[in-house]
Amino acid sequence: MIKAIYPGTFDPITIGHLDVIKRAAKTYDKLIVAIMENKNKSCTFTKQERIKMIKKCVKNIKNIEVIAGEGLTIDVAKKNNCKVIVRGIRAVSDYESELALATANMDLNPNIETVFFVAKPELSFLSSSIAKEIASFGGKIDNYIPSSIISEVSKKLYK
């Protein structure tokens, strides 16, 4: 059985994240979606809110587990017996930063591979930051956020 982990802040989960989750769930026997801390980001939603939203979005996908991870992704992957770290890439700028992370993870644990899922062209512009900005001004976020959580995201962000 091959287990993979898809780490991210998911603040909130976007349609692009969900696309990577669905594709990775088809590729691996089990996929762990891990909500991780990023010291460079200030999150709008609590870890528990993000877990709840992700679970709502993936409730019909049987081989997914959603967790809150602590520390380094590579350590969370090892602790959960994952052989693969899944990452999504939207643009060249994502590739450059993801390559640096993948290389560091390879150095820390050469037994865990990083696999990149390239965003579908129509989803390559999506980001949680853009969705939050639009929602904060009452804009329509249907093309950014899964429909099952739009009301939760809008309610928290629209002032």
Catalytic residues, which ones? Answer: 17, 41, 90, 128
Instruction: Name residue 52's amino acid.
Output: K
The single residue listed with the structure tokens 């993870």 is: 105
Which of 144, 139, 138 shows the shortest CA–CA distance to 158?
138
Which of 31, 7, 16 shows the shortest CA–CA distance to 87?
7
CA distance 148 to 158: 17
Burial of 124 (0-12, 13-18, 19+ CB in 10 A): middle
32 Cβ contact partners less than 8 Å away, ≥ 6 residues apart: 3, 4, 5, 6, 64, 65, 66, 67, 80, 82
7 contacts 80 by C-beta, under 8 angstroms: no
